[in-house]
Chains A and B, each alone.
Chain A
Amino acid sequence: MADLAVRIDGISKRFAATLAVNNLSLSVPRGSVYGLLGPNGAGKTTTIRMILDIIVPDSGTIELLGQPHRATGVSNRVGYLPEERGLYKKMQVRRVLKFLAELKGVDAKTADKRISVWLERFSLKTAEKDWGNSKVDELSRGMQQKVQFIGTLLHEPDLVILDEPFSGLDPINSQALKDAIVDLKHAGKTVIFSTHLMDNAERLCDSVCIVARGEKVLDGEVKAVKAERGTRNVALSIDGDASGGVRAVLDDPKLVARMDDQNRFFEIELAPKADPQELLKKVLAAGASVRRFEMISPSLHQIFLERVGATGVEEGMSGHG
């Protein structure tokens, strides 16, 4: 287990009356993409802030890249994109980026070179206009997000931590971010991101940890997590709306234990001892035109709903993930 980017052992944090994180342990393998999943208020941001030594845990230990997380120089190898993003509005983009890089121990010359490369890569510097010389508040929101992302990576960190990176992104920027995460993985970096969007996590992550109410619900490789649940799920896709007859079949508790109804697509968890062939026959008999009927591992989304359920989401739990 020597090759871990992050090793957390039994950390807890209490804020006044609320226990934000309770005895949480997790391991993030180097070079992996790791998802920290959980509903709002689960303790994701608190956990991330403890990893970054922004807040101090009441108990437990954290190791980053094989060293205690407070060791000198460790923070220079970590890049962080907070959930609430922001930059100095009145500062020139290049100066902000240089400041952020220098805070991580990059010398001025190297920083200048890298800034130019990154600005071009994110099309903030084109033949017509170099946004690097503009003030931050002259940039559009999307551009500011790009600048912030550049700021996270300028010091070429070995470990990149992104808190809710997809929130507030349009589909184009969202795709660009996914590409960037994959690029980082290919470059051998470790990426940890928190999200409550299971689809992104399922596609991007090698491993995940699901937390709810400050406690770990499950963790491990995505493959393993899914395999553990077996293939008792059915992906069903039909033409047109589900008519009354089809509905009745799907509502039969002898066949279906749980169902994610997305109108024309259903992810169905079979009831114990139910026969999938019987389900298919009944659906066809009810007059549905079936486009897809497949035995699958449950999606992270299903696992999340099953394990966390409605009870994991509690109102008023600190406001931060």
Chain B
Amino acid sequence: MSLADLHSWLLEEGIRDDLDTITRLTVRIELDNLMADPSVQSAAAIDWPKLILAGSILARSEQRADQEAALRIATAAICLTDDQALKDAGAVLLGKLSNFRAIELATDRDLLSADLNGRLGVALRLETQRREMDRSILVQSSGIWLQVNDFQQRFWANAAGERWLSASAPTASGKTFLVLQWLIDQVIVGEARVAVYLAPTRALVSEIETNLKALLGKPELIEVSSLPLPDKYKAARTGGARVILVFTQERLHLLANALGDALSIDLLIVDEAHKIGDNQRGVILQDAIERTTRVNPKLKAVFISPATQNPEELLTDAPQGVQTIAVDSDASTVLQNLIVATQAPRQSKLWNLALRQQGSTLPVGTLQLASTPEGLKKRLAFIAAAVGERGGTLVYTNGAGEAEEVADLISQLLPKLESIDSELSQLAELARKGVHHDFRLAPLVERGVAFHYGNMPSLIRQEIERLFRLGKIRFLVCTSTLIEGVNLSCRTIVVRGPRKGKGHPMEPHDFWNLAGRAGRWGDEFQGNIICIDPENTKAWPRGVPNRARYPIKRESDAVLELGDGMLEYISKRGQSDLSSLEDSDKFEQVSAYLLTTFMRLGSISVASLAKRHDAALITKLDQALGVLAAQIEIDVDLASRHPGVSAIGLQRLLDAFRTYAGDVENLLPAEVASNDSYDRFITIMGRINEHLFFAFAPPSRIRLYALIVYKWLKGFSLARIIRDSIEWHQNAGKAFSLPELIRGTMELVEQIARFKAPKYLSAYMDVLNLHLREIGREDLVDEKFDIGTKLEFGVSSTTLLSLMELGLSRMSAVALYEKISRDDLSKEGCVAWITERVDQFQAMDIPAIIIREIRERLTQPSNIAT
């Protein structure tokens, strides 16, 4: 019998019964409000020595199921038995799995007495020490040896040298921590002067920035920044402090534009790299990678993705001659229990829970609800409140409105706390002052419940995430924002019929990207995924998905595979009526990318993507692109500055400027301080819709969009924008629902002011400046502060920008700016202003969390030094 045969025989027959028993027992200790069940066998009946021996044999396997069984046995020996020798054996087994963090956790929880090594015999002790040495890596910059798991070790070993690397591992593998350590090592000890860390969302950008600063400790050695401003980059390039820039793909383009494309990066890290397949923003990411590689072909790139099928796919675009390597891991570090919940027949308050395993289902017990769950929202809320009572519970909903309602329902089932934790009340204060006095989040937070969605101001969202990690927020109701790039794990996830975006059932890999967040390595031994109504085909059209890994596919490749659709879109893109273009959501970004590539290379057949597609299709696309390119005068450099914006659109806009009969000054946006600024935005958005791209739809809402952009640029706080809107509705005698109005306003700010407007308005300005130069009106060109950057941050005054350069969130910066009278303060001026008044902030009615952020940012040595 081969070892592999022995492994599978052990799982299927040898220890099956005992394994089922300990599985049921370990899962039961994770779940709250289970009814007593006399049929469950006790742990005393288990032949532990035999089971642990089996565990140590299974630990030799590379197969996920075997590793999981070994982990289950180790966990059970530690959690279920009282015998020190068995617990110690469980801990050694964890060591064999290189799961040192779980041993630490067991010691912290007093499940394992300290000084395990002292109790081991000579042989085991030798083995343990050897394993600990084998599984250590040296962080050169600090001289510290880190104990790591198999994935981390392989990453570290393979990341050396100049080759491109793509690493993939499940969520709780200690990826981010290790990559940040490695990045710091490269910048301190290695050759990298300028490193860029790309993350797909602003939320993740600020999280990474904060983590990096915390890990660095000595900020004078290395600058860390998330602002696309040239000074720190230039300093690093000319021998000053080295710099790590943490950006979204859009911000990378902004900085490259500001530097006139001379952005030379030594080391590029792309986090959540599977997002290269995202609709509309995937191609912007691809473009960012290609753009930086063009400037510095010697650039080293590292891609990181969670549990993907084909991490090597990202390496196919490495420049010729550059070696590549993929590091892939599917090993689990925490047990993940996939549990289905079905209503007991004729008993609406009783729910049967069963564990799904490969090919089998294991009954776990019966959950008792406090109240009858009528309707689907109550079902989700009540089950979550019961099963995850002890906290760390995440509830997935299919939209922001639903998230608010479910959170409200959960909060009603919880006892009112006698005293409210001070951090929770500070968050409630921030929600009331920063958004609206009646924002629903505030009273919920006071009960330890919160909701979380993408368009929320980042300061509030980050504080929610922080308090959830700390356990002060026990229930967090979230939306698909969570799978769009927020690093948040939990103990238990509760979900019913998850959708991605608007109405599409989740693909298995999306579902597992969500479910993979159950289980915090080093904080818990297990994570639980509770799926409600597994048999219901409306909730789960394809059933509860089996474990699946994410397939990486570039957005550009996915769209090109649609073949004729893309061809037809390109051939119609030159027509005059942009509002009638069909499927522009799907095709516009990629067709813009193809057109720019064609303009640069003369044919897309020589581009890297050609090797992945049918040659006949590439030829046809080349023809269609050639027809468009023949009509374009603007140069490829200008087009490259605006990824996702079509060069033919830019040309049409230029044509429109040339034929404009009025005073050319009327084409310019007006200073936001002036009276006609708002009206100018309306006409500019109309012009963009007509010539460049139909971005601001429907046209009937352009006035509203312009108003939001105007207020955002003016540096208004979100609270003020919401207040104004309420006032407008009241004056106009229009009915409105407050929660909807609040959500709607946040959405407008994020989607229009911070996403579409910067993209298209900065393209508009670039083309207009070109036109102004052509007609000899350079005097009207104002380049000192680009409108894209202004909109990205929602600032138009020097003072506001300085505040944000100090590292403040916009919410904090705006709160301060409301109190600062001068609009031209430099960073130093702002620091002086703050230092003088910081003790009076509370009296000025500034929320405590904002004061805390200001204090934290200002105590950073780099800021004090200035």
Chain A complexes with chain B:
no
Residues of A within 8 A of B (CB): none
